[in-house]
């Protein structure tokens, strides 16, 4: 049995088109929000894909009108009853998912329509290429909510967009539309609305037509260069996250978000 294609997936769909595999987020009743089950399945699928020599490209996509609403805020609130050790372990689910996708040896291409928020954007920038439809956007709302941007994402953003744009994107938490993402290096193509998946399939077909060994060598080498200091610079981000989510500003940020009002932050 091939676990990748015949596994009992509940929150994703995995299909094959020749030497290209497509992985589709399928938690549509919750706008593909990244809960524990969805992240576990995405991580397992990436680990099963990692060293497959019969797969040359992987397309990751969401629904026709949106990619994902990001991580569930309820997961942060549920950790209040956990010990610090338990919390440190639990918050590795997101970073582990992103790392698993980064380590897939085949080329990974993300097709994005509509919104791609928070942890979903972190997942997208962990992959090789991003194709966005007109009207799509990336957004990282963590800092305005009183959190740091974790999931080992900052080195990837800096490598793609540079320090100033990475700071701007993360600090203000504002949507970056498809044209902005293309200009900043966060997207590689902008397709017409509804055309991101078709464009991503074209990218995948181009990759699949190339000699697979030097393609994989190139990916590994470029990632090693771009991420050379990543671990040293970001190894504390989960502890920073746990500290930030214990703050009064985090509670105020979440309350302000839910009440649709500006936050009143004190640094406490």
Q: What is the pLDDT of residue 7?
A: 77
Calculate the alpha carbon distances from 5 to 1, 91, 149, 178 in Å: 9, 28, 33, 32
Q: Dihedral sign, CA of 224, 50, 85, 249?
A: positive
pLDDT, tens digit, 9 for 90 and up, residues 198-208: 999 999 999 99
- Cα separation of 175 and 266, whole Å? 25
pLDDT, tens digit, 9 for 90 and up, residues 45-71: 999 999 999 999 999 999 999 999 999
Give residue 75's pLDDT band: very low, low, confident or very high (50, 70, 90): low
DSSP letter for each residue of 150-164: -TT-HHHHHHHH-HH
According to DSSP, the β-strands at 137-139 and 115-117 are parallel
The kind and range of the H/E element at 261 are: none
Q: What is the pLDDT of residue 84?
A: 85
């Amino acid at each position: 049995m091939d676990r990748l294609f015949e596994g009992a997936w509940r929150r994703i769909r995995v299909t094959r088109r020749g030497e290209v595999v497509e992985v589709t987020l399928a938690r549509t009743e919750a706008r593909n929000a990244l809960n524990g089950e969805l992240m576990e399945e995405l991580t397992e699928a990436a680990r099963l894909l990692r060293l497959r020599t019969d797969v040359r490209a992987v397309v990751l996509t969401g629904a026709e009108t949106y990619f994902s609403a990001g991580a569930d805020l309820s997961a942060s609130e549920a950790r209040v009853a956990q010990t610090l050790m338990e919390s440190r372990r639990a918050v590795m689910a997101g970073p582990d998912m992103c790392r698993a996708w980064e380590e897939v040896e085949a080329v990974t291409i993300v097709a994005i329509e509509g919104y791609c928020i928070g942890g979903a954007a972190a997942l997208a920038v962990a992959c090789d290429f991003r194709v966005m439809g007109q009207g799509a956007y990336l957004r990282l709302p963590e800092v305005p909510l009183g959190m740091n941007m974790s999931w080992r994402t900052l080195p990837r953003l800096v490598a793609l967009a540079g320090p100033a744009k990475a700071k701007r994107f993360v600090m203000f938490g504002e949507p970056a539309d498809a044209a902005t993402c293309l200009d900043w290096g966060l997207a590689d193509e902008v397709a017409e609305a509804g055309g991101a998946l078709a464009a991503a399939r074209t990218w995948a077909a181009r990759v699949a037509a190339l000699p697979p060994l030097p393609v994989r060598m190139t990916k590994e080498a470029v990632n090693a260069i771009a991420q050379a200091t990543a671990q040293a610079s970001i190894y504390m981000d989960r502890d920073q996250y746990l500290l930030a989510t214990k703050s009064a500003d985090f509670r105020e940020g979440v309350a302000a978000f839910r009440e649709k009002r500006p936050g009143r932050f004190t640094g406490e």
